[in-house]
Copies of this chain bind each other. A is one copy, B any other.
Amino acid sequence: MAIRLKDIAVLLNLSVSTVSAAIQSREDISPATRERVLKTVAELGYRPNSLARGLVTRRTQIIGVIVPDLSRSFFTEVLKGIDHATSAADYTLLVCNTEEDQPREDRMLSTLLSQHVDGLIIASAYKPAAKKVWSNLAKSQIPFVLIDRYFPQTNFVGGDDEMIGYMATSHLAEQGFRRIAHIGGPHSISTAVGRLRGYQRALAQIRLQARSDYVVESNYHEESGGYEAMQTLLALRTPPDAVFAASDPIAIGALQAALEAGLELPREFGLIGVGNHRYGAYLKIPISTMDQKRAEIGRRAAHVLLELIQRKSLSRPKSILVEPKLIVRKSTDRRVSNVF
């Protein structure tokens, strides 16, 4: 059986409360007994029971994290950012994987609340319309921050998706591409909508025609989706000369299709993705991409949450959009220096 406060108390002829106070290094305990206590604590390897402690203090030092899919590099990198910030403040993460399944998300949320986590960071599988979920949570008083998928009226941290779309599209235009198409994510996800909007804004600003047949809805995570979408685009009477893909997997699929169609990049065709996937630089043609600064999204979300936890200030919800960064590689780089 594990060592308890009481065991130490008996051993040292002290009361439980004295030992407790000594362990917390409270001022009102004599240095002498504090030393005695700390010494036997170390010797016996005493470890406070977090359950008991949490029951009385109402704090568990645990933060719940809910994500749709841990095998996506986006979420693991965000998670790392969260972990950096929270572990420095002595929190541990209770991580749940919803597999993009809403009932499962509900169950996990319920479990986390049962565990009395001190706060929550959530990338929800729910569509933005289902906002009642989050107003419920808000009533429950527990601090929480949503990430990645935007919901109105909540604390939110994510990439600046419209800026991502805008910068990517503008970059293609600057490199001289004129018939710019977009292969996007599902319109049911806020990030996909944002990127599409940025794409449209960029086109409008430089007075390029926005053709509806140049916008194809696909799947963020499947290369095959990008491959098929690209084939659709190439079959048009006037095929595009560049594609802004809403994700790196889409871009990789599109690249495959473009190469098979005999296109030469970047001379005849430009391609840019989103995500700065580690292997983007090692592909047949290294692809340009928009870096979302994933770790920073995690860090900022954690900081907002920690603030919420400390100050309980449920002031007005704040939205943080992390600024993306353009990474230029061969797939769009038409500068003269890029000859080899």
- A residues adjacent to B (C-beta < 8 A): 2, 47-52, 54-55, 60, 62, 70-71, 73, 76-77, 79-80, 83, 87, 92-97, 108, 110-116, 140, 223, 252, 255-256, 277, 279, 282-284
Contacts and interface: CB of A to CB of B under 8 A. Distances in A.
A207 to B, nearest CB: 35
Contacts of A115: 50-51, 62, 92
A62 B95 CA distance: 11
Nearest to A65: B95
Nearest to A279: B279
A49 B114 CA distance: 5
Contact of A110 (B47, B52, B279): B47
A97 B70 contact: no
Contacts of A110: 47
Contacts of A62: 94, 115
Contacts of A48: 114
Contact of A279 (B51, B94, B95, B283): B283
Nearest to A284: B284
Contacts of A87: 97
A255 B283 CA distance: 11
B70 A79 contact: yes
Given A115-B50, A115-B51, A282-B284, A76 B71 contact: yes
Contact of A55 (B52, B73, B255): B52
A93 B92 contact: no
A70 B60 contact: no
B60 A51 contact: yes
Contact of A282 (B47, B51, B256): B256
Given A47-B113, A51-B55, A55-B51, A97 B83 contact: yes
22 contacts: A47-B110, A50-B114, A50-B115, A50-B116, A51-B54, A51-B116, A62-B115, A71-B73, A76-B76, A80-B97, A83-B97, A92-B111, A92-B112, A93-B95, A94-B94, A94-B95, A95-B95, A252-B282, A277-B279, A279-B282, A282-B283, A282-B284
A186 to B, nearest CB: 20
